[in-house]
Amino acid sequence: MQVSVETTQGLERRLTITVEAENIDSAVKARLQQLAKTQRINGFRPGKVPVKVIQKRYGEAVRQEVSGEVMQRNFYQAIMQEKLTPAGAPTFELKKDVDGESLEFVASFEVYPEVELKDLDTIKVEKPVVKINADDVKNMMETLRKQHASWSEVKRAAKEDDQVTIDFVGTIDGEEFEGGKAEDFTLEMGKGRMIPGFEEGIVGTKAGKEVTVEVNFPDDYHAEKLKGKAASFTITVKKVEALNLPKLDDEFAKLFGVEDGGVKELKAEVRKNMDRELTQNLKARIKEQVLTGLLNANKVDVPKALIEQEIDVLRQQAIQRFGAQQGGNMPELPADLFKENAERRVSIGLLLGEVIKQNELKVDSARVDSMIETAASAYEDPQEVIEYYKSNKEMMQQMQNVALEDQAIDLILESAQVTEVETPFDEIMNKQA
């Protein structure tokens, strides 16, 4: 076998491989002789069909089959010989395939880039320092009360945190427009569901009254025809309802599965959940800064094949998330929707892989156990969840991968410029990492 290697562009490689004629011809001959023993052809006894007859009938198909196998086998021998690591499946082009002559073919593929880590000490990370105080717990308890609140009709005028039932008609330059009309529309005030000025115009209006509100559609409004337009809404308030919060007592605690200990125990559980969510949120925020800094400091030439593979993964995840909502009739999602995210994810994977390789990191089993225990603590029977993880090879592998990635993040943090910043709890929890 003879091999020549050519770099065509970037990470693309082109191997021209020549395989000696005898290797092909002997394999074809052996395959034809095997067929002669098994094929049934009129005029010949089973197993007695002359090879020349088999050659005439099946020779071309057999040679194609053998050539395909030879190309696959010799390709893998060639990349091992040349110490190349393909980043995706190769494409084969058969150049010469003639009886009695050497077989020649070309294999084109991409290789993994050579990753050189640098400037880790230039990565800047703001590490929030957060303390959960009594007011934070109190606010969370209020949130839980609101989640279990009820509405009751009142005769007074509407306030900012009420719920109203309304009819409305919108006009632009005196003409009604599509989507600007509704009847018996239920609106929970203060949620920002409507355009600026709409809810404010309802405040102070009683049931049975009509009010006209002048508003402007935002310049970035989703409907192109309405962007930046001035509109007038005639709103009829049909019902005003006030929010009734449940009492903070033992019965309320039972709604969350707290049978003993009442409100005190509920607060303890809430505080524990807040601690867990805060830890996860802080970890995600710091990790995102590290990865962004790593990417900015180290540009990677990413194989197209890996990007395409990642696009397929992201597309399938999108179909799984939204397919059920669409009744299974999801349109083909274009690759451009996922390309930027796919390229980022592949780049991160290559860089973290190099961190792991250079530092010879191995999975920390204690960290894996701790991660599983943390995940399980959110369930009613943590031990059952732990056992489920440990009995499921796929989930254990996923957890080990995450643990190894976290170990790489920790190692990068040791070189990074980390600044601690005191931050309120609600700012962390209400702001995406």
Question: What is the spatial distance between Cα 53 and Cα 32, in angstroms, rounded to a whole number?
Answer: 10
For residue 232, the cross-strand partners are 171, 214
Mean pLDDT by 10 residues, the chain (433 residues): 90 94 85 73 66 72 86 94 93 89 94 92 95 95 94 95 96 93 95 93 96 95 92 97 95 92 94 93 95 94 94 89 61 87 95 95 95 89 93 95 96 95 90 51
Look at residue 154 in the predicted model and tell me its pLDDT. Answer: 96
Return d(Cα 134, Cα 256) in angstroms, integer. 20
* DSSP code for 83: T
- How far is 356 from 352, CA to CA, in rounded Å? 6
pLDDT of residue 97: 84
Q: Which of 238, 189, 234, 185 is nearest to 209 (CA)?
A: 238
> Which pLDDT does position 250 carry in this prediction?
93
* Nearest residue to 121 via CA among 365, 392, 418, 399: 418
Instruction: Please identify which residue in the block is written with the tokens 């007011």.
Output: 135
pTM for the model? 0.74
Return phi, psi of residue 249, to 5°. Answer: -140, -170
The H-or-E segment that residue 109 falls in is strand 103-110
pLDDT at 431: 65
Query: What are phi and psi for residue 229, nearest 5 degrees?
Result: -80, 145
The pLDDT of residue 52 is 73
Residue found under tokens 């390309």: 339
What sections of 39-129 are H helices per DSSP? 51-82
Other Cβ atoms within 10 Å of 307 Cβ, number = 22
pLDDT of amino acid 33: 78
**Residue 283, SS3?**
helix
> Nearest to residue 97, comparing CAs of 107, 105, 89?
105
What is 162-216 written as a DSSP string? -EEEEEEEEEETTEEEEEEEEEEEEEETTS--SPTTHHHHHTT--TT-EEEEEEE
Phi, psi of 110 (to 5 degrees): -105, 150
For the chain, the first-to-last Cα distance in angstroms comes to: 55
Structure tokens at 249: 């007592």
Cα-only R_g, the chain: 34
Which residue shows structure tokens 């962390």?
Answer: 428
CA 377/CA 188 separation, integer angstroms: 34
